Chain A
Amino acid sequence: MLKQFDDTFRAEIGRAIARLETHSHSEWVVLVKERADSYAQYPLGVGSASAFLALTYVRFATDFFDEWIIYAGTITAFVLGAALTAGLPGLLRVAVGRKRLARSTEIMARACFQKGGLHHTRDKTGVLIFVALLERQVAIIPDRGVESAIPPGEWLKIRLGFSRIFQAKNPAAELLIQLESLQPIISNYIPQVDDDSNELPDTLDIDL
């Protein structure tokens, strides 16, 4: 999936945001990250559980196992469980759980919002769309001005739209579609003002 979010995509995102902002006073930043957290403890946990199950099996199974098999099997189960969980994103997501995935994404998004200085716009019009690929989550962090300018019902629609990008075959293309679909809403509620300036770069990379 990471391939879809390459430099070409970044350039397209920049152009989409520029188009969006020509009709609106708001400032949008899209940030795509491979993952929001390392989740290092989860492979270890799954590995331990696998080792325990392997040990339980060889302990209670009727077949005879040599001691070295018991020893090696337990270790192998641990390594296999840990490696598979670390290497297979789907398995890691199951182990981590949806709630924690969403929470990690939101924490990372808020940190990036702060670190990227999105709160420094004059009228509090910055919005961060944070995409976490491993988590398959999107967090939208609006600054106070934008948040209060758009009714909660519209925000719900926006959030629902972006939450669907990972259900699409091509999430990158879907992200662009969702960005384009923002146009009528934000130009309606946050129209362009006379002295508007581009306060935030249209493409921005933030590392913590």
Chain B
Amino acid sequence: MKPRKPLLATGWLCLALIGLVLSLLSISPSQARMGGGHSYSGGSSSGSRSSGSSSGGGHWSGFPASGYAGHSYAGSGLSSANPSSDSGGGFALFVEIVVLILVIYILLRLLSQPPSGAVKTFQSSYAGRPAATNTSLDGQLLDLRAHDPNFSKVLFLDFASLLYHKFYTYRGTDQFKLLAPYLSKAIADQTAANVFYPKQRVHDIVVGKARIVNVLARGGGDSLIVAFETNLTVQYQTGEQARFVNQEQWTFARQPGVLSPQPEQMRTLSCPACGAPADFTDAGECQYCHVFIQAGEKQWQVLKMSVLSSLPFTSEDPGGYVQETGTELPTLKQAELKTYGETFAKNHGFQDWEAFFTGFRETVVQPYCLATYAAWSAGDWRQARHLVSDRLYESNNFWMQEYARQGWQNRLDNLQIQSVVAARIELDRFYESITVRLFASCLDYTVDKQGKLIGGSPKKPRKFSEYWTFIRVSGVDKRTVEYDLKTCPSCGAPADKIGQAGECGYCGSKISEGQFSWVLAAISQDEAYEG
């Protein structure tokens, strides 16, 4: 196995190093001591001279004050007394010191290099950086919600992801004008004038992560910065395709006094004035109500787009095994967790938060975890379609397809959930979300079609913890049999005809937005979770 080669080399070097050190140690005290004691290794006369010579050094500088004047005779006179051992020992010692230095240097170089090979083990990029909650962001969002009660983080991020998706799909095409009410004039003009976009098509856009990272006050209006982690395929005019992994930050803004629209308008690109399907002229005039929509006037607009990085996707990534970090970090709990918990319990008629959470843990978190892990392990992510949000489904589906493309399967066997701890509760007019930290272990390994181990270990359980965020539309009633994972939460039919878009094949209801039951919306690694 390739990854073992450096370790093997390191092992040999360690042995060589130990051998060298032992050989250095094995040199008799007279050989090793300062002052070139080798000159006095033999002969009865050594005793009479040793006091002077050993303190000063034979060939070395010598200290006249000690009465040592032996440097003139030490080399010539005494070395000749035992030429075979003296000359060989002195030069050998020099060579050994040089070799020792070289060995240490090579060892350090080898240890500092990551092992190469198809499956790489590497440190998490967050290693060493303890996670911290962004408490100021919580306060800023509360302020925002104070003057806009309709604001919902879940809906806003859905809107931002939708816009991201549409921007890349429509750029360079005639449909780009449909985005006129949602883009600042500068961005719209720059994009429309770009000479390269008409020659490219972007598809298979996967928004892996979208999160609000900052809230800014801007001229009395609201402004939010959203960080995206996405990947997409660019098709060039030659037919060639390339997949990129992007990190971007988009600044959304709206004019003072504008309130968030109803959920359906946050999930579709429609006219912010009349609600009709998006159909605008280049100038931003709605073809239905003939109102000129100025960007940011009635809905969020994108003010700035920053592509922080755009790197070609490398296919060896799926087999990569990241060293588990952060499991030992304390759980990042929301400061107002208890207050929100009690509010939540009261809203849903529970005696207290604990009474709700015990049931939630046993009937939602644990079954969802087992079901999603089983679906992943089976290589059939569609089995979990009705349990996860669109964004999570798309991003994980992308990775599953990558595994399939390589002919690999990532197995997550023998899942053992140790504990589930509440970390965060968010309640707004339209959505409620609960984030828990889940401590578990499983056999996490990847095999190819022949069953050959590609990475991980099928024997040693891997302990980990993750933050899981569940969302549900506010006011969903409690049912007698609340969470049957094998049926559609809307019509009760078997959940075997759930389409890619999360719509039940029997009743046609979209069940991936939390209208009927809890939906797993996000999974964050413990070292990356920021609350």
Tell me the nearest residue of chain A to B74, going by C-beta: A64
Chain A residues, Cβ within 8 Å of B87: 62
The listed residue (A62, A65, A148) touching B196 by CB distance below 8 A is A148
In the complex where A56-B94, A64-B59, A123-B195 touch, is A151 in contact with B75 (Cβ < 8 A)?
no
The listed residue (B62, B75, B307) touching A62 by CB distance below 8 A is B75
Q: Are the C-beta atoms of A189 and B236 separated by less than 8 Å? A: yes
In the complex where A61-B90, A151-B236, A188-B238 touch, is A56 in contact with B97 (Cβ < 8 A)?
yes
The listed residue (A60, A147, A193) touching B91 by CB distance below 8 A is A60
Interface of A: prevailing SS: helix
Chain A residues, Cβ within 8 Å of B94: 56-57, 59-61
Indicate whether B76 reaches chain A with its CB closer than 8 angstroms.
yes
Chain A residues, Cβ within 8 Å of B36: 59-60
Chain B residues, Cβ within 8 Å of A153: 240, 242
Q: Are the C-beta atoms of A151 and B196 separated by less than 8 Å? A: no
Q: Could you tell me which residues of chain A, from 18 to 55, have a CB within 8 Å of some CB in chain B? A: 25, 53
Tell me the nearest residue of chain A to B39, going by C-beta: A62
Chain B residues, Cβ within 8 Å of A144: 307
What total of chain B residues lie within 8 Å of the partner, measured CB to CB? Answer: 36
What total of chain A residues lie within 8 Å of the partner, measured CB to CB? Answer: 27
Chain B residues, Cβ within 8 Å of A65: 59
The listed residue (B38, B72, B195, B242) touching A152 by CB distance below 8 A is B242
Tell me the nearest residue of chain A to B194, going by C-beta: A123
The listed residue (A64, A148, A188, A193) touching B75 by CB distance below 8 A is A64
Q: Are the C-beta atoms of B90 and A152 separated by less than 8 Å? A: no
Q: Are the C-beta atoms of A62 and B195 separated by less than 8 Å? A: no
Indicate whether A84 reaches chain B with its CB closer than 8 angstroms.
no
Q: Are the C-beta atoms of B91 and A190 separated by less than 8 Å? A: no
Tell me the nearest residue of chain B to A65, going by C-beta: B59
Most buried by B among A60, A63, A70, A189: A60
A33 CB to nearest chain B CB (Å): 27
Chain B residues, Cβ within 8 Å of A152: 242, 312
Q: Are the C-beta atoms of B195 and A56 separated by less than 8 Å? A: no
Most buried by A among B59, B240, B241: B59
Chain B 229-241 interface mask (CB, 8 Å, partner A; 1/0): 0000010111011
The listed residue (B74, B98, B238) touching A53 by CB distance below 8 A is B98
Q: Could you tell me which residues of chain A, from 128 to 159, have a CB within 8 Å of some CB in chain B? A: 144-145, 147-149, 151-153
Chain A residues, Cβ within 8 Å of B312: 152
Q: Are the C-beta atoms of B90 and A60 separated by less than 8 Å? A: yes
Most buried by A among B72, B86, B242: B242
A187 CB to nearest chain B CB (Å): 12
Chain B residues, Cβ within 8 Å of A147: 310
A104 CB to nearest chain B CB (Å): 19
Tell me the nearest residue of chain A to B38, going by C-beta: A62
Bound-state CA distance A147–B75 (Å) is 69
Q: Are the C-beta atoms of B97 and A60 separated by less than 8 Å? A: yes
Chain B residues, Cβ within 8 Å of A59: 36, 59-60, 94
Indicate whether A58 reaches chain B with its CB closer than 8 angstroms.
yes
Indicate whether A67 reaches chain B with its CB closer than 8 angstroms.
yes
Q: Could you tell me which residues of chain B, from 208 to 263, have a CB within 8 Å of some CB in chain A? A: 234, 236-238, 240-242
Chain B 67-87 interface mask (CB, 8 Å, partner A; 1/0): 000011011100100000011
Bound-state CA distance A65–B58 (Å) is 10
> 6 other contacts beyond A56-B97, A56-B98, A189-B199, with CB at 8 A cut-off?
A59-B36, A60-B36, A60-B93, A61-B91, A123-B194, A148-B196
Interface residue ranges, B against A (CB under 8 Å): 36, 38, 59-62, 71-72, 74-76, 79, 86-87, 90-91, 93-94, 97-98, 193-196, 199-200, 234, 236-238, 240-242, 307, 310, 312
The 9 closest A-B pairs by CB, nearest first: A64-B75, A152-B312, A62-B87, A60-B94, A149-B196, A62-B90, A60-B93, A60-B90, A151-B242
The contact sample of 11 A-B pairs, CB cut-off 8 A, is A61-B91, A62-B75, A65-B59, A123-B195, A145-B194, A149-B196, A149-B199, A151-B240, A152-B312, A189-B199, A193-B195
